[in-house]
Structure 1
Amino acid sequence: MTAHPCYELRGLSVVAYPDEARLLEEIFTGGAVTPGLMIAMNAEKIVAAETDPALRHSIEQAEFRYADGISVVLAVRRKHAVRLVRITGADLWRSLMARAVIEGAGVFLLGGLPEVAAEVERKLRHEWNVHVVGSRHGYFADGDRAEVMREIRDSGAAIVTVALGSPKQEIFMHECRRMHPALYIGVGGTFDVVSGTVRRAPAALRRCGLEWCYRILSQPSRLFRAGRLIRFAVYHVRNRL
């Protein structure tokens, strides 16, 4: 159980970590990596969990549920009258990799197109000095899931970063931990940014919490996902969070 307060939104709780540094300290207790699931809580994921039992169960079983979306921060402020610190998943992942270098923790990379996965592995190995113990792109058939999980287990990774997109990554991480206890973090489209395939939103937009808007404008394929954001906004306005 976390020592930090938790705040409920639509039946799911978000942990109120004081800041990113404190979260990392909990993960690297005594220099060892604490096994568990790290899930970035945002509006889209909370709404999707209402109709996806597997996603909801994965979230409920996660040890580290941090507020990634500005909409979640604002919703907690309205419903519970507290100021929640936002911890962005992309920045947290970079900090986690930097700490993994210090601690010598083995990292497994899963996700992205083959060329994206290869470039992320190259950067982490040769530019960031991360101890990458395995890597695999995210375009594998459902029939290969068990093989992928065995590959992760055999790598002995202490940290497994999964960029399969939600809800696929959350469900995969929850299932894989049964075979190989480790720290799992879902990183969404972070691999695309790190590889240079996609540009991240300008810092000014990130500070204002508008990174989601930039993503939709720069990647119109994401537009279909805006419906969940609208539904969350309706919950907010009608005080049904």
Structure 2
Amino acid sequence: MINLGAHSVLGVRVHAVDYDHAVATILAAARERRPLAVSALAVHGVMTGFTDPEHARRLNGLDLVVPDGQPVRWALRLLHGRALPDRVYGPELTLRTARALAGEGLSVYLYGSTPAVLERFADNLRAQFPGLRVAGMEASRFRSTSPEEQGEIARRIRESGASAVFVGLGCPRQEAWAFEYRDLVGLPILAVGAAFDFHAGTLAQAPRRMQNLGLEWLFRLVQEPKRLWRRYVLLNPLFTLNLLLQAARVRSFPVALPDGSERPLRYG
């Protein structure tokens, strides 16, 4: 189990941990029914915080942010000397967390995506992990919700008896959701993005070799060029440029926290 602390990657706090630590942290919160907000960030996720200071504070207010993309994992090594054996890929973390929950007779609530995707995702989870109970599911409204609606959503999740929540709203909406609902729900929330579509079988994952080489973005771009070209063509070079500037200490990126304070470039 590896936990090498949390470190600034362009001002976003990323935890240098492995799958075992992430799953154990989520499972402990599920057992104790206490709040925990978790997200897996690739380059695009980091850049949502880099380009939006307000969202950076939300990201840095999450309890655990794991390096979903290989480039983020490599950034931890380049900037802070924190070498990890592998990234903590959101879709894989989803399955490992589901397996751990099932092993202890715990349950999960699914929030996000569409009703059709939720049904297929839930069926596949139950088939793969027979001991896992899906306590409830709720599709995204694809719009902002009022405080009253937020309260009702949180109440339904709590009253479902769920031990944890998987959220698939896409980045950055799901991270904002995890931050806003953390204390309302009072349970571990795992923002897993495309895992809903991947594990529902409605979206293909990149081949393992492309994933290992950090080229998953290229596979996704070919799949959905109209939707994703700006994300990858514009943000990937911007990430690389600023990563090199941070590595050369030309620029520093302190971690801005929700309370308005800042922490130094590196901290554990």
Unaligned runs of 5+ residues in structure 1 are: none
Deviations 1:153-199 (A, max 9, x none): 22132210000011111111111122121111111111111111111
Instruction: Give distance in 2, aligned partners of 1:31 and 1:118.
Output: 23
1:134 and 2:140 aligned: no
Q: 2:259 matched to which residue of 1? A: none
1:117 and 2:118 aligned: yes
Shift of 1:126: 4.1
2:50 aligned counterpart, secondary structure? coil
Q: 1:71 matched to which residue of 2? A: 71
Q: 2:41 matched to which residue of 1? A: 41
More displaced 10-residue stretch of structure 1: 200-209 or 34-43: 34-43
1:191 and 2:191 aligned: no
Q: 1:87 matched to which residue of 2? A: 88
- Matched to 2:242, the amino acid is Y
Shift of 1:80: 2.0
Instruction: Give distance in 2, aligned partners of 1:26 and 1:112.
Output: 25
Shift of 1:25: 2.3
Matches within 5 A, 1:193-232: 193-220=198-225, 221-226=227-232, 227-232=234-239
Instruction: Give distance in 2, aligned partners of 1:45 and 1:177.
Output: 19
Unaligned runs of 5+ residues in structure 2 are: 253-268
CA RMSD of aligned residues (A): 2.3
Q: 2:169 matched to which residue of 1? A: 164
1:16 aligned counterpart, secondary structure? strand
- Matched to 2:162, the amino acid is A
1:97 aligned counterpart, secondary structure? helix
* Number of matched pairs: 239
In structure 1, which of residues 224, 233, 236 is the aligned counterpart of residue 243 of structure 2?
236
Q: 1:107 matched to which residue of 2? A: 108
Contact 2:68–2:87 under 8 Å retained in 1 = yes
Residues 22 and 36 of structure 1, relative CA distance in 2, 3 Å threshold = same
Instruction: Give distance in 2, aligned partners of 1:188 and 1:126.
Output: 21
2:171 aligned counterpart, secondary structure? coil
More displaced 10-residue stretch of structure 1: 127-136 or 185-194: 127-136
Residues 177 and 215 of structure 1, relative CA distance in 2, 3 Å threshold = same
4+ residue segments displaced more than 4 Å: none
Instruction: Give distance in 2, aligned partners of 1:123 and 1:114.
Output: 14
Residues 200 and 28 of structure 1, relative CA distance in 2, 3 Å threshold = same
Q: Which has the higher contact order (CA 8 A, sep 6+)?
A: 2
Instruction: Give distance in 2, aligned partners of 1:178 and 1:54.
Output: 19
Instruction: Give distance in 2, aligned partners of 1:146 and 1:231.
Output: 38
Q: 2:21 matched to which residue of 1? A: 22
Instruction: Give distance in 1, aligned partners of 2:29 and 2:154.
Output: 28
Taking structure 2 as the reference length, the TM-score comes to 0.81
Taking structure 1 as the reference length, the TM-score comes to 0.89
Contact 1:54–1:171 under 8 Å retained in 2 = no
Shift of 1:148: 2.4
More displaced 10-residue stretch of structure 1: 117-126 or 166-175: 117-126
Residues 63 and 76 of structure 1, relative CA distance in 2, 3 Å threshold = same
Instruction: Give distance in 2, aligned partners of 1:42 and 1:30.
Output: 24
Instruction: Give distance in 1, aligned partners of 2:79 and 2:3.
Output: 21
Shift of 1:132: 0.6
- Matched to 2:138, the amino acid is R
